[in-house]
Amino acid sequence: MDAVRMKGRNVEVAVEAALQVLGARREDVDVKVLKEGKGGVLGVFGGEDAEVEVSIKANIEERGTRVLQDILDKAGFDTMVSSNGEKDERLQLEIKGEDMGRIIGKEGATLDALQILVSSILSRGEQKRRNVTIDAEGYRKRREDKMRDLAKDAIEEAVKKGGEVILPPMDASDRRAVHIAVKEDSRVTSFSRGEGPGRRVVISTDKDAEGDRPRRE
């Protein structure tokens, strides 16, 4: 049983009764109040019980998969969404189906927009933001490999000339891939400079170089 409707003299009493039936804790459920209830005369006559619907929260993988699938279905795409679990506190969702070019968008712009939307929906009511990575037909992996190759070339250039190499402006996912690649090479460090669309990764042999330190992009 994943959901139950319950009545009680007030909302809290009804919720507690539902929790006992479900065998769940308060933090593990969603509560929908159907009727607030009201006290009667002398607490007895003319009163009305409160009524609630209490349901077990889906786990983050189930919720993320359902949210993205609903968005794509409503947009008219013939797709199937699956989850690859969480990696580095980011839920990994994958899209398979037809018309992947439109879903990916130019340089992954549509995927990026979907990530922001799904992340915002999953973060509602949560104490911390739920980060999401959405891939389609392996696009993210190909893009990450491209960024790692770019990072490796920039590392060698920085080491050769003994200074900084400033990469072109990138979005957050591309910057993250570069930072990860740089972290694997002890000869250099990386950080980001700039704001918005002009934000760039700087690769430097100077471990004390000024700039924003590497962060979760």
Question: Tell me: the pLDDT tens digits for 137-155?
Answer: 899 889 999 999 999 999 9
At what angle are helices 109-123 and 60-74 packed, to 10 degrees? 130
**What are the angstrom distances between the C-alpha of 94 and each of 3, 5, 48, 130, 139?**
29, 35, 48, 16, 10
**Residue 189, pLDDT above cutoff 70:** yes
Which CA distances in Å does 117 have to 64, 110, 113, 135?
A: 11, 11, 6, 14
DSSP element (H, E) containing 51: strand 50-56
| Contact criterion met (CB below 8 Å) for 214 and 183 | yes
What mean pLDDT comes out for the span 176-187? 93
**What pLDDT, on the 0 to 100 scale, is given for residue 123?**
86
In this structure, are residues 178 and 167 in contact, taking their beta carbons and an 8 Å threshold? Answer: yes
Exposure string of 89-113, with b = 16+ CB inside 10 Å and e = fewer, is: ebbbbbbeeeebeebbeeebebbbe
Q: Is a pLDDT exceeding 80 seen at residue 168?
A: yes
Could you give the strand order of the β-sheet that contains 29-35, starting from the edge strand earlier in sequence?
3-8, 50-56, 29-35
How far is the CA of 82 from the CAs of 37, 86, 87, 88, 117, in angstroms?
A: 41, 12, 15, 18, 17
pLDDT-above-90 percentage for the chain: 60
Q: Report how far apart, in Å, the C-alpha atoms of 53 and of each of 1, 157, 201 are.
A: 13, 62, 50
Q: Over the chain, what is the mean pLDDT?
A: 87
Interatomic CA distance for residues 199 and 170, integer angstroms: 6
User: 3-class DSSP state for residue 208?
Assistant: coil
pLDDT of residue 183: 93
Average pLDDT of 98-116?
Answer: 92
Supply the DSSP symbol for 149. Answer: H
3-class state of residue 4 by DSSP: strand
The pLDDT of 48-70, averaged and rounded, is: 89
Per-residue pLDDT for 125 more than 80? no
Residue 3 has pLDDT above 70, yes or no: yes
Give the tens place of pLDDT for each residue, 23-47.
Answer: 888 888 889 999 887 765 555 555 7
Residues 6+ apart with CB under 8 A from 134: 68, 93, 94, 95, 111, 114, 115, 118, 140
The whole-number average pLDDT for the span 52-79 is 91
Q: Express as a percent the part of the chain with pLDDT over 70.
A: 90
Give the C-alpha separation, 95 to 91, whole Å. Answer: 13
What's the mean pLDDT in 106-132? 88
Kindly state the helix (H) or strand (E) to which residue 50 belongs, with its residue range.
strand 50-56
Q: Is the pTM of this model over 0.95?
A: no
Domains, the chain, with CATH or none: 3-56 (no CATH), 60-137 (3.30.300.20), 142-204 (3.30.1370.50)
